[in-house]
Chains A and B, each alone.
Chain A
């Protein structure tokens, strides 16, 4: 960890980064509970469909590819920020957000598809748990898009300062975290469900 970087340069910045790591700890507990709920209810499909009947690989692969790439790109953005290259940083952040937007678009399409084939959120305990888990992740991505946009605008206006670099770095932690959650969703919801 580069603790001599600008994002760590003030006392308040260091407090914020530690605070955000602890918040991510709470987020792990939150998603952990949602996963536990999902695993408990996954076979309780009632009259509704089971996972293998509704999951489709193509949109899920697109989502995975797009989100993982965005996580890589935001890493490049943070690297550019540490090199003090405002333009490159902005470009990488904008690409990250566009990839996030693509992810969200495909996910919304996926949700509409589920409703169309009779796997809406009210159908069974399984669909409720599935769509709540995916929806919570999707809501985090949505919030992240607005948050990231606010940071891009601030960097454009104020440049790379102790304040903006701290915000951008924390945002990157959040974005990577969403990626990690998605890897679990991809492996244990989709792949396991399709087997």
Chain B
């Protein structure tokens, strides 16, 4: 019996930090259960959230989970900076440090950046194209729950069985059972697989939504730029994620069933993993950056009070980036010996990406030119993005040169580079988008004052944290080393990095404080259009009613809502009609739970329960096939009643 349960123990059990986390997790979980019971909120939670198929609520859940994961990944980051703040520091040992940089990478990319972006796209896209929901609302709920339970499965590795420790890139042979003996890398393979299936379904769902459900008159070249960026992102998702699916499946088979894909004997090829990983991994970078470009396009044009400059070149540059994103993967391992020819080709394709990206940069600058710029919090993020991202981009071109890369490879220079693109590119963007669309989602604005404080803390601390890494990297500090000797001279700059990391932590705490403060004290009932914006999401009420638009809008230009305000074009023509809505369902949540347990049993090689949970998942799919779900209709009376609550008494007169 004891032997059976010993498999769940963490290898370095007894470490006080892990024991503290184990206790904390139990206390927090109990606290949530007791709290929900005490306040009698179980029914509310089930009916309004766990079974919802409403794209806005699913979006909110994505964003909440992303914020939660931001803190988990952030604590990892703080620990890393603390460990390396002084030479020969003993805070973490090598193994623990390995685990922490692995989980930091996976969580920040896959369980923070991705869901934050998918959350924003869930909330905004149907509104921006004038639709009532996404194409497949129930599939959308399933996508969310698969992501959520994938993320949870990944996170419990920390306290049950041991964290993954082979880096977020999980290179073989390091990630094989030979060199990573604990179940950590099993968690990696299976948890990401579960979340990845959800992401793939999101990709399909949003492509269909955007292609088929746009408001009348909104041709492809009249779509708002954020919608364009999401369309292209989802196309990349659909073609890149299957590669990850296969790579992770092969990894699972190597680790659990003894196949020979990436082994060092019997013909296995470790470099195959590196190639498969980055064939997905590099497009993944653009999956998180293109939506950010879309968000900035919206925000810059709104707060500069100008039409977006170079609409067509914006679209074509994104298409070019998406195509090139599949042709650069080998630049992640120039030094692994694939010859001058291959390195040369990948050098050129990599540098070529700078061209369409540069086009976008100039378009944003020209949008700002002669604009009446308002420095609201979202705009501050966008303004900080341009110069900081430029540093990231330029160092990226430096890294793209294969011969020079032999100097930079696997140093802190690289770490500085990708943080300089990912943080202003993605994190600033989602924070900007979050602040920008918050009033639309909740009906009140976040505090500008606290928002600006958090902006300055994060923007300045970011540079304090990561700029020194360029220097230590050029001086030869390797990444992923848990410590260094005093004679290297890396100490002072690493200490500055640590101070910056503390500043970043303050900034992120301020963001959460802003949510708390604004929820309690911010004035309610903002107007439909608090920022004087341009696209359709601002044409409906805040917060948005369940049916989004009482009457489907009609579009004639790239900025339909702005034209309605300025030129008086009619957005809403026609009368109220009954609106068809999809019914809620508990099935996606149940399937998520089943996937969680299925994955958990697979991680530990418990085959019989795995098969049982696998069959249960299959049973759910069968149930869905036989289920007859016609949805329901919101009657005209109900629409009138709801519209009245928003103070639209004679909306129908306006409609005429």
Contacts and interface: CB of A to CB of B under 8 A. Distances in A.
Contact of B212 (A18, A25, A150, A163): A18
A16 B241 CA distance: 21
Interface residues of B, number: 42
**Taking chain B's interface residues, is the majority helix, strand, or loop, or is none over half, making it mixed?**
helix
B622 A46 contact: no
Given A19-B204, A125-B269, A37 B257 contact: no
Contacts of B622: 146, 150
Given A29-B238, A125-B268, A18 B208 contact: yes
Interface string B215-245: 0000000000000000000000011111101
B267 A37 contact: no
Interface stretch (A70-78, A86-94, A98-106, A126-134): A126-134
A121 B259 CA distance: 6
Contacts, number: 114
Contacts of B487: none
Nearest to A27: B242
B266 interface: yes
Interface string B254-282: 00011111010111110010001001000
Given A44-B268, A44-B269, A154-B625, A15 B261 contact: no
Contact of A48 (B204, B213, B266, B625): B266
B136 interface: yes
Interface in A2-33: 14-16, 18-19, 22-23, 25-27, 29-30, 32-33
B655 interface: no
Contacts of A41: 261, 267, 269, 272
Contact of A150 (B208, B268, B276, B625): B625
Contacts of A163: 628
B403 interface: no
B136 A19 contact: yes
Given A44-B267, A48-B266, A150-B625, A124 B260 contact: yes
A45 B269 CA distance: 11
Contacts of B261: 37, 41, 125, 128-129
Contact of B242 (A19, A33, A121): A33
Interface of A: 14-16, 18-19, 22-23, 25-27, 29-30, 32-34, 37, 40-41, 44-48, 121-129, 132, 146-147, 150-151, 153-154, 163, 167
Nearest 3 interchain pairs by C-beta? A44-B267, A125-B267, A46-B266
18 contacts: A15-B212, A19-B205, A19-B208, A25-B238, A26-B204, A26-B239, A26-B241, A26-B242, A29-B240, A29-B242, A37-B276, A46-B267, A121-B257, A125-B261, A128-B253, A128-B261, A150-B626, A153-B626
Interface of B: 135-136, 200, 203-205, 207-208, 211-213, 238-243, 245-247, 249-250, 253, 257-261, 263, 265-269, 272, 276, 279, 618, 622, 625-626, 628
